[in-house]
Amino acid sequence: MSASDRWWLAHPDTISPVIQTVVEGTGSIDVDALWSAVTAVATACPDTALRHTRKAWLAGGTPPRVRVVHGAADGTAVAGIDALHDPLPTPDGAWCEVLLCPGDPAAVVFRASHAVMDWPGMALWIADVFRVLRGEAPLGAADATTEDDIFDRFPAPAEKPPSPKIEWVSPLGQPSGSRRTAWARRTVDGYHRGLVAQVAAALTTAYELPSARFAVAFDLRRHVPGVRSTGNLSQVELFDCTAGAPWETFHEQVLTAMAEGREVSSRLDSGLLKLPRPILRTLVKAMEKGPADKRRYASATVVAHLGRIEPGSLCTDGFEARTLYPVPLLTAGSPPDLNLVECGGRTELTLTWRDGDGAAERMGAVLDTVTEALSPRRSRDWDGNTTSAAADPATVVQRLRQVVAQRPGAEAVRWPGGSLTFAELDARSEVVAARLLELGIGRDDVVGLFADRSMWAIIGMWGVLKAGAAYLPLDVQHPDARLAGLLTDAAARVCLVQDKYAGRSVTGPGCTVVLLSELATEGVPDVGVTPAPGDLAYVIYTSGSTGKPKGVEIEHAALANYVDWTTSRFGCGPDTAFAVFTSLAFDLSNTALFTPMLAGGTLVLVPDEPNHLTLRHLLEHSGADTLSLTPSHLDLIGQLDLDPAGFKVLVVVGEQLRSAVAARARAMFGPGCRVLNMYGPTEATVGLTLHECTAADDAAPAVPVGLPMDNCTVHLLDPQRRFVAAGEIGEMYLGGAQLARGYRNRPDLTSERFVHLADGTRVYRTGDLARVLPGGELEFIGRADDQVKVNGYRIEPAEIAHVLQRHPAVRAAVVVARTRPGAEHKQLHGYVVLEPGAEAADWDAFLGEHLPRYMVPSATTVIDAVPHNANGKVDVAALPDPHAAHAATGPAVTASGDEVRLAVARVWASTLSLDEARLDEAADFHHLGGNSVQLLAMLAGVCRDVVGAGAERAFMAELGSIIREPTLERVSDIARQARDGAPMAVPAAG
């Protein structure tokens, strides 16, 4: 038992200090499980079950009890809970106890008499209880080191430092009335440098004192490395803060004291504390009474920074902790007490005082001043976020039914050579829904959808939605192994398959295949399932940096909000014909899938992969008037010799839109066509900010991403999660109605990326950097991480590296995205270090079995070792450039061959900005840095300059062969044969 333990013990029960910590979150904890965990931890952390003799604490006292108590349902878990005022020890002699407060939020309150525990000690106890609740072993904190033991390790200073003169202060004013402990809590965004000093400076201002003294708490454990004790090992030191002085001055004082170890060198005179307890008790009473009666204290406030605690460490199966904050019970003579905890990207401030009339108002205002100093309102509030609008509660299923009733005979979907009316679509999708219901599919089930851009995909999608389930679109171009992995990951029990893909092996034993064409075309009465706004509508997978794609779960309410604002902003109505040529597994396609039809308009399917012929047909002859596409595709269109007709809206989304590309599109599509730049990740339902392009954008290199749309918000935070000042660059955190539920079956990833702001707003952390321009719109700046976009496809290079690493010959792998000198686009380069004695493999073939084509690096090179820089990160600059031989600086190879090859080489050179003299016949378009969109531009150029209009269909019919072997020689041969009308030669095997 240390001297200060005795001091606390000498307090009568009614004024004994109790430290209490609230762990607040969502979900529930079983009271018996909690009791078992607390009891188990009482052995690992013996200080939680102590008894004492006159001089010593002994293990084996009464273990903490667990009580279920109910608070007021006002959004704070512990409001109105009287048990927080109960003294400790409990009547049965326990010095610690635990309260379970069910509700939403729910809370667990850990309570301990200050005689047995301090704050850092309680943090160890709490973490162990949650460990045991999760089924892990407690780390324990059984060290019996006392404060006196620590003092004994440090020699007393030769000269005792003068005790500071006590200057009594009354920060509370002189309130009368109840003297119960009262609290106020505020949460501010982010972690703040010099937090204690910033808080002390703000408190000095708030108390309107010319100078204020603060008692700052220090944890003595830092002087005993490795000690694990829950005991009382904290001390306070006094520091003065002058009003108006920069907080850094106070910070310096505190740091200097820490550097000197002042808290262990200025030991209290413990002789006094060794007095017999009855005498000490009388003394304590007298000392507590004076300040309490007069409301004058030896310091303005006790300030304790309790450190950083991640909510993830306080979760169990059914309970997700959101935050943790202290609510101590103060002794009568204690000055106000301000406790600070950093938790989940936010800072919790709890100000505690002994109450009195008017004190709550005064202390609330004080806390507001401190909050404002840390997180100024002008940075938090941005006009752009005033977006709230009435939301239509109807889901897309209800809306479709309304359109079917109003316009049964209107064209819902069309494609070259066919169409479906709303009535036909309704009937056929109803059959699908009926079959799914028969199979037991329902709410929140995921159903795979394996179909290409044909009516089968649309019928299947609506069928799944009408069954109340969620669809998972699978891209038929992706390898089977990957698709099978997605279906398993999503736990899909059924997969709807279009006939022509029946032979592919994407489903495992647990997944029933339903062939879409085998379902009757009509004759089923309405199945009548109406999904609720909170039900899942779809799951779309995106690249995952941990090596596995992650499934984004979108609920109906989010989708309906997106459809609402896109309908009004894009001006969609019954006349709209919205075309889609992008993969249906790509969320940008959802705009076309839902918005036009639900406005009574038509979805125009472009079944073929985009190339200049399909694009020409689409833009000049399809009758479509609205299109959503990536900037890469828009750039390609701008390079083609096209004459678009009748387009009203182009929605560009998926990557940064360069002004030059937007300007070219405006000129090409004419003044009747609006070009819109939309921004958004899959996790926020396709898009949530919008900017309409005008000539005024041309001055900057890139077009702004605009403003958040209805019921959506954007918050710019720095790496410490503080709001940035106006105009500064911050990471975009997105809030509002369109946020995903999370990542399918990945609660860890979900809580890492979907977090909460201090005001409770749920936000998605994008990794995108942006700033607010002087004109008030958002400008996209780039990424804060390694994620890249290639032709609008979202790629985590780490996912590709993980796949490479699975190859038996590979010891280590890295994949980086690089921009070659002179090139505009990023290229993926893979690097592998081989296992000893292993041989290089056909990496492209291996990767192609597991990843979509766009994720296969343009080259994968064997290296001896992965170079790292001083920070331990991969040193990208030190990795060899696999295409250096072909780079503009490489040796010239005189282009040779007939006029066709020379002409093709000229097209390649202009597409890739290379010197044509460096292209030999073996030159490979991808290895030269060309991506798939540039390949299409190159082919269009070859058709124009070499093949001629009459033969371009024959040439383009060989697209598959060119994609497999994109060499100058092969392209030239095909061009020559097409032009001359010769039969196409089959390339030699291998």
Q: Smallest gap, in angstroms, from Cβ of residue 570 to ligand AMP?
A: 15
**Closest distance to ligand AMP from the beta carbon of 712 (Å):** 14
Q: Give the range of 400-408, 680-688, 836-844, 963-971 binding ligand AMP by CB under 6 A.
A: 680-688
Smallest separation (angstroms) from ligand AMP to the CB of 652: 7
Binding ligand AMP (rule: CB under 6 A), the pick from 281, 285, 407, 794 is 794
Return the number of the residue (187 or 791) whose C-beta is nearest ligand AMP: 791
Q: Answer for the pair 596, 722: CB distance below 8 angstroms, yes or no.
A: no
- Among 542, 589, 602, 934, the residue binding ligand AMP under the rule CB under 6 A is 542
| Residues 922-981 contacting ligand AMP, CB under 6 A | none
- 480-487 long-range contacts, Cβ below 8 Å, gap at least 24? 480/504, 480/505, 480/506, 481/849, 481/850, 482/549, 482/850, 482/851, 482/852, 483/450, 484/508, 485/548, 485/549, 486/448, 486/541, 486/549, 486/551, 487/448, 487/511
Q: Which is nearer to ligand AMP, 685 or 977 (CB)?
A: 685
179: Cα within 13 Å, side-chain hemisphere: 17
Least CB distance to ligand AMP at residue 753 (A):
11
Closest approach, Cβ 728 to ligand AMP, in A, equals 19
CA nearest neighbour of 29 among 134, 120, 125: 134
Q: Where would I find the H helices in 896-981?
A: 899-912, 932-942, 952-956, 959-964, 968-980
- State both tokens at 259: 């550097």
Of the pair 494, 688, the CB lying nearest ligand AMP is at: 688
Cβ 725 to ligand AMP shortest distance, Å: 23
Q: How many angstroms separate the CA atoms of 905 and 722, rounded?
A: 53
Q: Which residues, in sequence order, are bridge partners of residue 21? A: 110, 326
- The nearest distance, CB 45 to ligand AMP, in angstroms, is 44
Q: Which is nearer to ligand AMP, 243 or 700 (CB)?
A: 700
Residue 311 touches ligand AMP, criterion: CB under 6 A: no
Alpha-carbon Rg for the chain, nearest whole angstrom, is 34
Q: Is 820 exposed, middle or buried (0-12, 13-18, 19+ CB in 10 A)?
A: buried
- The least CB distance from residue 664 to ligand AMP, in Å, is 17
How near is the Cβ of 702 to ligand AMP at its closest, in Å? 8
Residue 16 vs 542, nearer CB to ligand AMP: 542
The least distance separating ligand AMP from the CB of residue 682, rounded to whole angstroms, comes to: 4
Q: What tokens were used for 488?
A: 């398993």
* DSSP symbol at 79: T
How far apart are alpha carbons 799 and 815 in whole angstroms?
Answer: 9
Q: Which is nearer to ligand AMP, 301 or 682 (CB)?
A: 682
Nearer to ligand AMP, 399 or 789 (CB): 789
**Span from 32-40, 365-373, 384-392, 677-685 in contact with ligand AMP (CB under 6 A):** 677-685
Residue pair 304/119 in contact by the 8 Å Cβ criterion:
yes
Instruction: Write the DSSP string, 660-678.
Output: HHHHHHHHHH-TTSEEEEE
Which residues in 203-222 contact ligand AMP (CB under 6 A)? none
Out of 682, 711, 713, 858, the only residue in the binding site for ligand AMP (CB under 6 A) is 682
Q: Which is nearer to ligand AMP, 769 or 951 (CB)?
A: 769
Give whichever of 263 and 655 is closer to ligand AMP, judged by the CB atom: 655
- Provide, rounded to whole angstroms, the least separation between the CB of residue 266 and ligand AMP: 53
Contacts of 914 (CB under 8 A, 6+ apart): 822, 886, 888, 908, 928
Nearer to ligand AMP, 46 or 681 (CB): 681
**Nearer to ligand AMP among residue 595 and residue 656 (C-beta):** 656
Q: What does each C-alpha distance from 931 to 344, 815, 825 come to in angstroms?
A: 41, 16, 8
**Judged by CB, which is closer to ligand AMP: 445, or 655?**
655
Shortest reach from residue 657's CB to ligand AMP, in Å: 6
Q: What is the helix (H) or strand (E) element at residue 590, kind and residue range?
A: helix 589-598
- If one asks whether residue 780 binds ligand AMP (CB under 6 A), the answer comes out as yes
Return the number of the residue (229 or 542) whose C-beta is nearest ligand AMP: 542
Residues 611-670 contacting ligand AMP, CB under 6 A? 653-657
DSSP at 727: T
Taking the complex as a whole, the smallest distance from the CB of residue 494 to ligand AMP amounts, in Å, to 26
Find tokens 């993830």 and name the residue.
Answer: 312
As measured in angstroms, the least distance from the Cβ of 552 to ligand AMP is 8
Q: Pick from 550, 746, 789, 818 the residue near ligand AMP by CB under 6 A.
A: 789
745 Rama class: left (phi>0) / alpha (psi -120 to 50) / beta: left
For ligand AMP, which stretch binds (CB under 6 A), given 303-311, 679-687, 713-721, 870-878?
679-687
677 is a site residue for ligand AMP (CB under 6 A): yes
Any idea what the Cα angle at residue 627 is, between residues 625 and 633, rounded to 5°?
135
Strand ranges across the sheet with 810-819:
810-819, 826-834, 859-862
- Minimum distance of ligand AMP from residue 586's CB (angstroms): 7
The smaller minimum CB distance to ligand AMP, of residues 303 and 675, is found at 675
Please return the burial class of 784, using the count of CB atoms within 10 Å of its CB with bins 0-12, 13-18 and 19+: middle
Residue 768 binds to ligand AMP (criterion: CB under 6 A): yes
Nearest to 16 by CA among 62, 85, 63, 91: 85
- Does residue 4 belong to the site contacting ligand AMP (CB under 6 A)? no
**Nearer of residues 628 and 711 to ligand AMP, judged by Cβ:** 628
Residue 74's Cβ-side half-sphere holds a number of Cα atoms within 13 Å equal to 6
**Shortest gap between Cβ of 722 and ligand AMP (angstroms)?**
21
The alpha carbon of residue 385 and the mean position of all alpha carbons in its chain are separated, in whole angstroms, by 19
Site track 573-602 with ligand AMP (rule: CB under 6 A), x = hit: --------------x---------------
Beta strand pairing status for 446-450 and 494-497?
parallel
Find the angle CA(505)-CA(507)-CA(512) to the nearest 5 degrees. Answer: 130
| Calpha distance 965→299 (Å, rounded) | 79
DSSP for 856-897, written as a single string: S-SEEEE-SS--B-TTSSB-GGGS--TTGGGSTTS------S
* Residue span binding ligand AMP (CB under 6 A) among the ranges 49-57, 110-118, 676-684, 693-701: 676-684
Residue 627 CB, shortest distance to ligand AMP, in Å, is: 15
693-752 residues in contact with ligand AMP (CB under 6 A) are 705
Stretch that binds ligand AMP, among 248-256, 294-302, 593-601, 678-686 (CB under 6 A): 678-686
| Helices and strands in the chain, H and E counts | 27, 39
> Does 679 help bind ligand AMP (rule: CB under 6 A)?
yes
Q: CA angle at residue 356 from 352 to 361, to 5 degrees? A: 70
Number of residues engaging ligand AMP in binding (CB under 6 A)? 19
Give Cβ neighbours of residue 486 (< 8 Å, ≥ 6 apart).
Answer: 448, 472, 474, 541, 549, 551
Task: State which residue, 780 or 843, has the beta carbon closest to ligand AMP.
Answer: 780
Q: Choose between 204 and 542: whose C-beta lies nearer to ligand AMP.
A: 542
Please report, as residue ranges, which positions from 487 to 506 form the binding site for ligand AMP (by CB under 6 A): none
Note whether 495 and 448 are within 8 A (CB). yes
Instruction: Specify the residue, 613 or 716, whose C-beta has the smaller distance to ligand AMP.
Output: 716
Residue 764 lies near ligand AMP (rule: CB under 6 A): no
Inter-residue contact 108 to 23 (CB < 8 Å): yes
In the complex, least distance from residue 678 CB atom to ligand AMP, rounded to whole angstroms: 6
Kindly give, in sequence order, each residue whose CB lies less than 8 Å from that of residue 394, ignoring residues fewer than 6 positions away.
Answer: 402, 560
The residues that touch ligand AMP, with contacts defined as CB under 6 A, are 542, 587, 653-657, 677-682, 705, 766, 768, 780, 789, 794
